[in-house]
Structure 1
Amino acid sequence: MLAHSLVHTYELSIPIFVSIWLAEFEVIRVAGMEFAVTQASLGVIVTAGYGLFGLGALPGGIVADRVGSRRLIGACLFGMGGSFLLLGLAPGLVAVALALLVWGAAASVYHPAGLTLISKGVTVRGTGFAYHGAAGNLGIGLGPLITAILLLVFDWSTVAMLLAVPALVAGVYAVRAEFDETAAVDADDSTVDARAGSGVESVRAFFAESKRLFVGAFAVVFLITMCSGLYYRSVLTFLPSLLSTFPGFEPIPLAALLPGVDPSAGRTLNPERYFYAGLLLVGVLGQYTGGKLSDRLPSEYGIAGVFAALTVLALAFLPVAEMGLRPLLVFGALFGVTLFMAQPIYQATIADYTPVGTRGLSYGYTYLGVFGIGALGGVIAGTILTYADPGTLFLALAGIAAAATGLSVLLVRRRATGA
Structure 2
Amino acid sequence: MALNANDRAIAGFTMACHSLVHWFETSIPIFLVVWLTEFDVGVTLFGIVVALGYAPFGLGALPGGILADRYGTRPLILACLGGMSLAFLVLAVANSIVVIAAGLILWGVAASIYHPAGLSLISTGVEDRGTVFAWHGIAGNAGIALGPFVAASLLIFLEWSVVAALLAIPGVIAVLYGLRAEFDPTAAVADDSDAGPAEALSPAELVENTRTLFASAFAVVFVLVAFEGLYYRGTLTYLPQILRDLPAIESLALPTGLEGIQPGDYIYVGLLVVGMAGQYTGGKLTNRVDPDRGLAAIFVVLVALALAFIPITAAGVGLGAIIALCGALGFFLFAIQPFYQNAVAIYTPPDARGLSYGYTYLAEFGLGSVSIALGGFVLGALSRTAFFLLIGGFAIGGGVFAGALLVGRGRFLNGSGRSEAKADD
Query: Is 1:17 the counterpart of 2:21 in the alignment?
Result: no
Query: What is residue 241 of structure 1 aligned with on the other side?
Result: 241
The one-letter code sitting in structure 1 at the alignment partner of 2:357 is: Y
Which of 308, 316, 338 is residue 316 of structure 1 equivalent to?
Answer: 308
The one-letter code sitting in structure 1 at the alignment partner of 2:91 is: L
Q: So what's the TM-score if we normalise by structure 1?
A: 0.89
Unpaired segments of 5 or more residues in structure 1? 27-36, 257-262
Alpha-carbon spacing, 1:373–1:268, altered in 2? closer, same or farther (3 Å): closer
Q: Deviations over 1:147-194 (max 9, x none)?
A: 01100110100000000000011011123323233444589x9xx9x9
* Equivalent-residue separation in structure 2 for 1:252 and 1:305 (angstroms): 36
CA apart distance, 1:379: 0.4
Query: What is residue 401 of structure 1 aligned with on the other side?
Result: 395
Structural mapping, 1:173-252, within 5 Å: 173-185=177-189, 198=198, 200-250=200-250
Which of 68, 74, 77 is residue 73 of structure 1 equivalent to?
Answer: 77
CA apart distance, 1:344: 1.9
Query: What is residue 306 of structure 1 aligned with on the other side?
Result: 298
The one-letter code sitting in structure 2 at the alignment partner of 1:150 is: L
Query: Is 1:89 the counterpart of 2:93 in the alignment?
Result: yes
Structural mapping, 1:7-406, within 5 Å: 7-26=21-40, 37-185=41-189, 198=198, 200-250=200-250, 254=254, 256=255, 270-321=262-313, 322=315, 323-406=317-400
Q: Deviations over 1:347-391 (max 9, x none)?
A: 122122334444332211111111111111100110000111011
Alpha-carbon spacing, 1:229–1:16, altered in 2? closer, same or farther (3 Å): same
* Equivalent-residue separation in structure 1 for 2:199 and 2:236 (angstroms): 34
Alpha-carbon spacing, 1:127–1:228, altered in 2? closer, same or farther (3 Å): farther
Q: Deviations over 1:34-63 (max 9, x none)?
A: xxx111100000000100111111100111
Contact 2:66–2:201 (Cα < 8 Å) also in 1: no
The one-letter code sitting in structure 2 at the alignment partner of 1:237 is: T
Alpha-carbon spacing, 1:266–1:297, altered in 2? closer, same or farther (3 Å): closer
The one-letter code sitting in structure 1 at the alignment partner of 2:83 is: G
Alpha-carbon spacing, 1:410–1:129, altered in 2? closer, same or farther (3 Å): farther
Q: Deviations over 1:229-288 (max 9, x none)?
A: 11111111111111111122217565x5xxxxxx7x867751111111111121111111
Q: Deviations over 1:328-350 (max 9, x none)?
A: 11121111010011112211221
Contact 1:60–1:108 (Cα < 8 Å) also in 2: yes
* Equivalent-residue separation in structure 2 for 1:268 and 1:112 (angstroms): 37
Q: Which sits farther off after the overlay, 159-168 or 304-313?
A: 304-313
Unpaired segments of 5 or more residues in structure 2? 1-14, 415-425
Aligned CA-pair RMSD: 2.3
Alpha-carbon spacing, 1:52–1:143, altered in 2? closer, same or farther (3 Å): same
* Equivalent-residue separation in structure 1 for 2:376 and 2:159 (angstroms): 25
Alpha-carbon spacing, 1:186–1:124, altered in 2? closer, same or farther (3 Å): same
Alpha-carbon spacing, 1:253–1:279, altered in 2? closer, same or farther (3 Å): closer
Contact 1:320–1:328 (Cα < 8 Å) also in 2: yes
Contact 1:127–1:291 (Cα < 8 Å) also in 2: no
* Equivalent-residue separation in structure 1 for 2:39 and 2:379 (angstroms): 18
Query: What is residue 8 of structure 2 aligned with on the other side?
Result: none
* Equivalent-residue separation in structure 2 for 1:299 and 1:123 (angstroms): 24
* Equivalent-residue separation in structure 2 for 1:70 and 1:356 (angstroms): 22
The one-letter code sitting in structure 2 at the alignment partner of 1:6 is: L
Contact 2:69–2:199 (Cα < 8 Å) also in 1: yes
The one-letter code sitting in structure 1 at the alignment partner of 2:287 is: D
Contact 1:199–1:358 (Cα < 8 Å) also in 2: no
Contact 1:121–1:185 (Cα < 8 Å) also in 2: yes
Contact 2:157–2:258 (Cα < 8 Å) also in 1: no
Partner SS for 1:296: coil
Contact 1:57–1:365 (Cα < 8 Å) also in 2: yes
Aligned length: 397
CA apart distance, 1:212: 1.5
Alpha-carbon spacing, 1:295–1:119, altered in 2? closer, same or farther (3 Å): farther
* Equivalent-residue separation in structure 1 for 2:199 and 2:349 (angstroms): 10
Structure with larger RCO (C-alpha < 8 A, sep 6+)? 1
Q: So what's the TM-score if we normalise by structure 2?
A: 0.88
Contact 1:83–1:102 (Cα < 8 Å) also in 2: yes
Contact 1:7–1:107 (Cα < 8 Å) also in 2: yes
Alpha-carbon spacing, 1:269–1:370, altered in 2? closer, same or farther (3 Å): closer
Contact 2:189–2:195 (Cα < 8 Å) also in 1: no
* Equivalent-residue separation in structure 2 for 1:197 and 1:359 (angstroms): 16
The one-letter code sitting in structure 1 at the alignment partner of 2:404 is: L
CA apart distance, 1:204: 1.1
Alpha-carbon spacing, 1:118–1:349, altered in 2? closer, same or farther (3 Å): farther
Give the share of equivalent positions with the same residue, in percent. 47
Alpha-carbon spacing, 1:207–1:268, altered in 2? closer, same or farther (3 Å): closer
Query: What is residue 32 of structure 1 aligned with on the other side?
Result: none
Alpha-carbon spacing, 1:148–1:197, altered in 2? closer, same or farther (3 Å): same
Alpha-carbon spacing, 1:184–1:412, altered in 2? closer, same or farther (3 Å): farther
Query: What is residue 411 of structure 1 aligned with on the other side?
Result: 405
